[in-house]
């Protein structure tokens, strides 16, 4: 049965990568793949001999001795657990995307556009890469990618050029998220599980992550596509919104508030994001109604049109296909994790790969295993691989192994467009083709990934 599940995933994944050739939206195979995977598990529940416990991040003891009724109860609990964890990510994503759309409704990003004075393609590339690296560490790589791509769409008219900028932003955002406990979901998982601390994350990973961002950006800056000046996007609407700066800074501040809310309350990030969304929505309603009243005064009693609801309009513009695609992918991978496929894969890597001469903390875990986990995170998904690693290894808090896993899983996903949340969002916002990214961006991401890994092997000797 495990082979059947793997086959379903491989076929579904191929359908996703061949989206443009098949002319089928990527969310369709993702949802079908998810439903079939869990359906096969439910119909053949008694044939499985292993079961991964998502709470303890390890294989369940004595699962083969459970009767059918007990397995059905366990399946329901496991499915609800994965649905809950996936929903946390999706609602966080929906909140962040809606806030970004509200800012855009007030034309807030046109204010940030004025910050970028340079017209040189190369200078704009560096500005975007640095912004992605810094913002992702503060507000997470996913939200940073959404914001910067929204700015790009306001600045650059050339759609082909935007694809290149988007690819480099994905690399920079994933690199910036790796060294911050709130910058990437996998790093947050390790942080919550008390495997890493904020201080040591910075000490171990800042330099490797910086190199992972700088080197691909430096190489890309010499490519022909980044020569010359940018043809600036011309604004179709010349009206000026008086509240654009207010909504820009308030919206970004609301997103940055989410990590502080999590630290203070201990609640999942999506709760803070919903609070931020509600607060931004209140301000948006107030400013819209105020503008309506002022316009009515100027127009006299004949002005009877009601103001457009900014929250409803922003929600209608959110990329729901990307959200559903993300849901399908995460739940499909969760199915593989549940029956122990990913756990077995990680153990097989550990047992079959040779040591590179630099063992981590003397526990026999090779650097090559962690590097392959990073590559695997681009193909499968970094979340379940990190979850499996939590159950595989027993090293103490702030052991260099956990920091290497945080780096590899966080930055390895940049090697494929579907390998990270930032990449998936960029794929939806800019309609990036899988093979275009693989041909033009993946090699840059690989160089940065390997260079950063080498830098980590140096920095860990210092602490």
**Residue at a domain's end among 282, 297, 318:** 318
**Residue at a domain's end among 318, 343, 358:** 318
pTM for the model: 0.74
Domain that includes residue 213, residue range: 90-318
313 and 234 in one domain? Answer: yes
Q: Helices 68-105 and 244-265, interaxial angle, to 10°?
A: 150
* pLDDT given for residue 301 in this prediction: 52
Integer Cα distance of 156 and 147 in angstroms: 14
- Residue 453: name the closest of 399, 385, 374 by CA: 374
Integer Cα distance of 144 and 162 in angstroms: 16
Kind and range of the H or E run holding 52: strand 52-53
Percent of the chain with pLDDT over 90: 22
402 and 381 in one domain? Answer: yes
405 and 286 in one domain? Answer: no
Percent of the chain with pLDDT over 70: 84
* pLDDT given for residue 118 in this prediction: 66
395 and 264 in one domain? Answer: no
pLDDT digits (tens, 9 = 90+) for 153-204: 878 888 888 999 999 999 999 999 999 887 887 887 787 777 888 788 888 9
Tokens 């392959």 correspond to: 372
Q: Is 328 helix (H, G, I), strand (E, B) or coil?
A: helix
pLDDT digits (tens, 9 = 90+) for 36-88: 999 999 998 888 888 887 777 678 888 888 888 888 999 999 999 889 888 88
306 and 161 in one domain? Answer: yes
73 and 133 in one domain? Answer: no
123 and 35 in one domain? Answer: no
Q: Helices 2-17 and 320-338, interaxial angle, to 10°?
A: 160
336 and 229 in one domain? Answer: no
pLDDT digits (tens, 9 = 90+) for 212-253: 999 999 999 999 998 888 776 655 554 556 788 888 889 888
Query: In a 10 Å sphere around its CB, with 0-12 CB exposed, 13-18 middle and 19+ buried, how is residue 301 labelled?
Result: exposed
């Amino acid at each position: 049965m495990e082979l059947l599940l793997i086959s379903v995933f491989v076929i579904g994944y191929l359908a996703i990568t061949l989206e443009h050739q098949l002319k089928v939206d990527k969310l369709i195979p993702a949802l079908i793949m998810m439903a079939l995977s869990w359906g096969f598990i439910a119909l053949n529940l008694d044939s499985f001999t292993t079961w991964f416990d998502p709470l303890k991040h390890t294989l369940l003891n004595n699962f083969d001795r459970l009767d059918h009724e007990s397995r059905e109860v366990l399946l329901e609990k496991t499915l609800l657990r994965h649905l809950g964890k996936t929903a946390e990510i999706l609602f966080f994503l929906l909140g962040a995307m809606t806030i970004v759309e509200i800012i855009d409704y007030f034309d807030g990003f046109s204010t940030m556009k004025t910050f970028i004075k340079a017209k040189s393609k190369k200078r704009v590339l560096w500005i975007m890469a640095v912004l992605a690296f810094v913002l992702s560490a503060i507000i997470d790589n996913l939200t940073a990618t959404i914001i910067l791509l929204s700015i790009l769409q306001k600045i650059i008219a050339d759609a082909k050029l935007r694809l290149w900028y988007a690819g480099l932003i994905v690399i920079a955002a994933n690199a910036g998220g790796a060294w911050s406990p709130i910058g990437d979901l996998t790093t947050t998982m390790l942080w919550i599980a008390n495997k890493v601390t904020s201080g040591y994350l910075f000490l171990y990973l800042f330099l490797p992550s910086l190199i992972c961002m700088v080197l691909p950006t430096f190489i890309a800056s010499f490519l022909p596509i980044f020569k010359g000046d940018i043809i600036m996007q011309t604004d179709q609407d010349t009206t000026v919104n008086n509240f654009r700066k207010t909504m820009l800074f308030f919206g970004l501040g609301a997103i940055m508030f989410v990590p502080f809310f999590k630290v203070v309350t201990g609640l999942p990030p999506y709760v803070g994001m919903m609070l931020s969304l509600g607060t931004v929505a209140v301000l948006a309603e107030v400013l819209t109604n105020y503008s309506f009243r002022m316009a009515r005064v100027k127009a006299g009693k004949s002005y009877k049109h009601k103001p457009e609801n900014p929250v409803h309009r922003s929600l209608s513009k959110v990329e729901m296909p990307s959200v559903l695609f993300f849901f399908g992918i995460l739940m499909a991978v969760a199915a593989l994790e549940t029956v122990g496929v990913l756990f077995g894969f990680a153990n097989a890597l550990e047992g079959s790969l040779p040591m590179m001469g630099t063992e981590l903390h003397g526990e026999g875990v090779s650097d090559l295993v962690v590097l392959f986990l990073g590559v695997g995170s681009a193909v499968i998904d970094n979340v379940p691989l990190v979850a499996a690693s939590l159950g595989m290894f027993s090293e103490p808090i702030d052991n260099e192994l956990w920091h290497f896993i945080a780096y590899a899983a966080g930055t390895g996903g940049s090697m494929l467009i579907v390998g990270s949340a930032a990449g998936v969002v960029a794929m939806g916002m800019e309609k990036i083709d899988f093979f275009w990214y693989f041909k033009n961006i993946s090699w840059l991401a690989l160089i940065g990934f390997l260079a950063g890994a080498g830098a980590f092997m140096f920095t860990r000797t210092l602490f």
